[in-house]
Structure 1
Amino acid sequence: MAPMVRPRETVDCGDFTLRRWRGQEDLAAATALIEESREHLRPWETWIIGHDEESTRGFLTRSAARWEAGEVFNYAVVAGDGALLGMCQAYLGVDPRGPRLGYWLHPAATGRGIATRAAAALAAEMFTLPDVRYVEIAHDLANTASAAVPRRLGFAEVRRGPLAGPAAPAGSGIEVVWRLERPPANS
């Protein structure tokens, strides 16, 4: 059996890096990042409600296992000085040829193009995997900041429909899905 192909564990983005989470070694820093971002995330992320250090511990444990299984590739967004700026991930959905990308940043890191550059780098990294044909980004219709990322990167909106799960507090309950196809081999 051939070894499973995975993205690189570190992706250089110039003034920041996408780095695979290092398990429990990252517990304190990841917990602080989430806690400092709680109010910023609350309108859009239902998982933040009741989140605590134990939740972060579980996230890091699941991240390691799901990376090894080739299901989810979670990255810390890390500044050049080592400070955590946020998180991004690629996860396999129903169609393994088209992983979905997700991202969020600490409020102090927003408005500087970091989410856009992180999503671009992660999309490019996913396209290095032989079976990936497209990547998608999904967000609630009301989350205009999240919508700006795929729009800037040339993703095409492919559908709108009801969210599969509960709507976030500020959400509309309508999911918008954007898609970027694999670039041609000669580009």
Structure 2
Amino acid sequence: MDLPQQVIELDDLTLRRFNGEADLPELFRVIEESLEHLRPWMAWVGEHSLAKTADFLARRAEGWASGEEFTYAIVLNGAIVGACQLFRRDDTPDNGREIGYWLHPAATGRGVATRAVRALIAQAFRLPDVDYVEVVHDPANRASGAVPARLGFSERLRRPAERLAPAESGEDQIWRLTRHQADNPAAEGR
């Protein structure tokens, strides 16, 4: 099976597989510093703890080995500033993957998420069975929605969603980028 690269170098930005327990102190600190920033949109923040972060890190190798989930630390100038993930949800057809991301508030507004997602798109289309990638977010989270819009995704649909985090509207906005769009950005007007 073809797998995404384990380390992706993008000048001052690096995406790399998490290093299990070695990353625990830094990742936990970054999440702690980001709680108020993430709380409106990320339901998992409500249960944040050192044990939950350790469990998260412990499960990353399993997802990578199965080919279901590729999770990266987003490292800017040598420091972890967030995480991003290329994965398949239970309800995602085999030929699609989803991309998720979050950042420390000090790393926002600098193109970090856009660069990370662009790199994950390239990794997704290295996989022979992937025909499209999606970004799913609450439409009220405009910062998250700006990333797929910038990268040439098309809004595919909106669907009702359970409100799990305080600022969520009860709707998912789903953006899609196909392999064809990624291979032919000029044809799509991007």
Contact 1:71 1:92 in 2 (8 A): yes
State how far apart, in whole Å, the 2-side matches of 1:167 and 1:52 are: 18
Deviations 1:111-144 (A, max 9, x none): 0011011101111111111111110000001101
Partner of 1:85: 81
Contact 2:136 2:172 in 1 (8 A): yes
Deviations 1:87-118 (A, max 9, x none): 00011122121100000100000000110111
State how far apart, in whole Å, the 2-side matches of 1:167 and 1:184 are: 32
Partner of 1:61: 58
Over 3 Å counting, the alpha-carbon distance change for 1:15 and 1:170 in structure 2 is same
1:39 aligned counterpart, secondary structure: helix
Detail structure 1 runs of 4+ shifted over 3 Å in the superposition: 183-187
TM-score (norm 2): 0.91
Residue 166 of structure 1, CA deviation: 3.5
State how far apart, in whole Å, the 2-side matches of 1:166 and 1:148 are: 21
State how far apart, in whole Å, the 2-side matches of 1:185 and 1:101 are: 15
- The aligned runs of 1:1-150 (5 Å cut-off) are 4-80=1-77, 82-93=78-89, 94-150=92-148
TM-score (norm 1): 0.93
State how far apart, in whole Å, the 1-side matches of 2:182 and 2:141 are: 33
What is the identity percentage for the equivalent residue pairs of Structure 1 and Structure 2? 51
Kindly report the root-mean-square deviation, in angstroms, between the aligned alpha carbons of the 2 structures.
1.5
1:99 aligned counterpart, secondary structure: strand
2:25 aligned counterpart, secondary structure: helix
State how far apart, in whole Å, the 1-side matches of 2:127 and 2:14 are: 19
Matched residue count:
182
2:81 aligned counterpart, secondary structure: strand
2:47 aligned counterpart, secondary structure: coil
Q: Which runs of 5+ in 1 are unaligned?
A: none
Q: Which runs of 5+ in 2 are unaligned?
A: 185-190
State how far apart, in whole Å, the 2-side matches of 1:159 and 1:184 are: 17
Partner of 1:181: 178
Contact 1:137 1:150 in 2 (8 A): yes
